[in-house]
């Protein structure tokens, strides 16, 4: 079964450093998402991306965050200057494009990247 | 997207059916009911979705009441590996539409 692949699985960084989290969505998917989950809290939407631009972003997704699809396969989340409160699991997800009644609007999530900011 | 209400936790004996309820009394006519689960901080996993008819797949069954104000996810023979947080999410089937997760129900399957 096709998978969304995320790397690294765990990254430890110092406060103020830049971090890039990488995702390889499922190959025929066209919508991409980032979510985060702080330990013990809800899964929170960060941003959605389609046709090389941001479709929607949450209040969490401020100027220190950016997303990019640098080539035909990768989808990245960059955190410019990490803070302690950025420590969380970050999940990438993707979904295909299909007809309204096709039932294909299912987000498939990756296993996540755990970010620890010290 | 309509708000959902789920019990914070439930227990189920291994091998028995797990019935997870969800209330969505303000659901709109074009909103679907989706169920996802998250096993121990892994990525959320899609289970099933439906509009108004009952649905069944290899993982679970979804029963939606006739007025669509509530639904029940049924895991017919729960195993220890079904211990997870289960999320009931109501949303319009529109491509690019995000999922909004609530707190979900922690299901503990016990031997």
H/E run at residue B23: strand B18-23
> CA of A33, closest CA in chain B: separation in Å?
8
> In terms of C-beta density within 10 A (0-12 exposed, 13-18 middle, 19 or more buried), how is residue B24 classed?
buried
How many alpha carbons fall within 13 Å on the CB side of residue A3?
A: 7
Whole-number percent of chain B with pLDDT over 90: 86
Chain-centre distance for alpha carbon A64: 14
The shortest CB-CB distance from B96 to any of A4, A55, A89 is to A55
| CB within 8 Å: B98 and A4 | no
CA distance B30 to A116: 40
Q: Which of B28, B111, B40, B24 is nearest to B73 (CA)?
A: B24
Q: Which of A106, A95, A109, A112 is nearest to A32 (CA)?
A: A95
The DSSP secondary-structure symbol of A20 reads: E
Instruction: Count Cβ atoms below 10 Å from residue B75 Cβ, excluding itself.
Output: 22
Distance separating the N- and C-terminal Cα atoms of chain B: 37
Chain-centre distance for alpha carbon B72: 7
> CA of B47, closest CA in chain A: separation in Å?
10
What are the pLDDT tens digits along chain A (118 aa)?
789 999 999 999 999 999 999 999 998 888 999 999 999 999 999 999 998 999 999 999 999 999 999 887 899 999 999 999 999 999 999 988 755 554 557 899 999 999 999 9
């Amino acid at each position: 079964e096709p998978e969304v692949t995320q790397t690294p699985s765990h990254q430890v960084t110092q406060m103020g450093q830049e971090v890039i989290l990488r995702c390889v969505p499922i190959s025929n998917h066209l919508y991409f998402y980032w979510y985060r989950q702080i330990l013990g809290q809800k899964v929170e939407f960060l941003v959605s991306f389609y046709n090389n631009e941001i479709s929607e972003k949450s209040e969490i997704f401020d100027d220190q965050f950016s997303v990019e699809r640098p080539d035909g396969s990768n989808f990245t989340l960059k955190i410019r200057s990490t803070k302690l409160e950025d420590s969380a699991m970050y999940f990438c997800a993707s979904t295909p494009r299909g007809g309204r009644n096709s039932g294909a609007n299912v987000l498939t999530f990756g296993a996540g990247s755990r970010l620890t900011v010290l | 997207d309509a708000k959902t209400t789920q019990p914070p936790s439930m227990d189920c004996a291994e091998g028995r059916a797990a019935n997870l309820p969800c209330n969505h009394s303000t659901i709109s006519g074009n909103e679907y009911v989706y169920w996802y689960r998250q096993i121990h901080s892994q990525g959320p996993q899609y289970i099933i979705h439906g509009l108004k008819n009952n649905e069944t797949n290899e993982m679970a069954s979804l029963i939606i009441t006739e007025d669509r104000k509530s639904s029940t996810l049924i895991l017919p023979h729960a195993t220890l590996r079904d211990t997870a947080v289960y999320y009931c999410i109501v949303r319009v089937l529109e491509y690019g539409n995000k999922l909004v997760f609530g707190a979900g129900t922690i299901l503990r399957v016990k031997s």
